Structure 1
Amino acid sequence: MQDFRKLLVWEKSHNLTLSIYNLTHSFPKEEMYGLTSQIRRASSSVPINIAEGCGRGSDADFARFLQIAFGSVSETEYLLLLCFELGYFSEKNYMEMTYLVQEIKKMLAKLIATIRK
């Protein structure tokens, strides 16, 4: 068992979630139970699964939760694209969030590979 707060990938995914919560405050009210909720849940699932995996008893369990986190960050990546194309935030915001998503995906992939060795 390890402290998830010490993992850089957890910190970056937590910051992504905070940024998405801030960005979605300005989304149209009719999206409250649609895209706003969906992108918030997808992004928060990433650090949640990293934290849960850290609390598991084996490397195999940890790797499984990291794989779930990878799926959630991929979902977030698509939802960012959809929200951008719907005009819900600027290109600058989209590019910043997409860059962070790509960083997290690379870090998760590397961590998963390391654990599975």
Structure 2
Amino acid sequence: MASELPHANSFRELLAYRKSRKLAKEIFILSKQFPKDEMYALTDQMRRSSRSIGGQIAEAWAKRRYERHFVSKLTDADGELQETQHWVGVAFDCEYWDRTAAEPLKSQCQEIGRLLSGMIEKSATFCLQDYHTLRDPPADYFVADTTDY
């Protein structure tokens, strides 16, 4: 018989969500140094895609009652993550960022990608009959919510 595992009460407790917020913030800060002529091109695209990752995870959480919808939104989050990785590469290629700036972002993207893949592979675990709960090992997928807003 399976034991009862802790559950997340909010998408804010999901580790993939937390890490995506951190990534979006770092990209926002680092992209401030881009030239003005990139404002509506690279800067805008990179900020939008990086911010959308967490948004898609939040939407997936809201749709976890239906496994196909949950997986679809997580797949969308992964798509936004892949786009963000592309823009990080473009910033590096254009020499707006050096390896010191780009590598940590690349590593964060890879980590978030692994978390999303795990959630997709174990989607049934997240989409239980009692869809208000999440039962999976806390160290792998979520942390306590300490959001102040």
Task: Tell me which interval the TM-score lies in, with the shorter structure as reference length.
Answer: over 0.9
- C-alpha separation in 1, matches of 2:98 and 2:23: 16
Residue-pair matches, total: 117
Partner of 2:81: 73
Aligned letter for 1:87?
E
Aligned letter for 1:86?
C
Partner of 2:91: 83
Partner of 2:61: 54
Q: Which has the larger radius of gyration?
A: 2
What TM-score comes out, normalization by structure 2 length? 0.75
Structure 2 residue runs without a partner (length 5+)? 1-7, 126-149
Structure 1 residue runs without a partner (length 5+)? none
- C-alpha separation in 2, matches of 1:40 and 1:107: 21
How far 1:52 sits from its partner (Å)? 1.1
- C-alpha separation in 2, matches of 1:114 and 1:58: 14
| Larger RCO (CA under 8 A, 6+ residues apart) | 2
Show the 5 A alignment for 1:1-117: 2-56=9-63, 57-116=65-124
| 8 Å Cα contact 1:2-1:55 kept in structure 2 | no
How far 1:59 sits from its partner (Å)? 2.4
CA RMSD of aligned residues (A): 1.5
Q: Which structure: greater helix fraction?
A: 1
- C-alpha separation in 1, matches of 2:60 and 2:104: 27
How far 1:2 sits from its partner (Å)? 4.8
What TM-score comes out, normalization by structure 1 length? 0.94
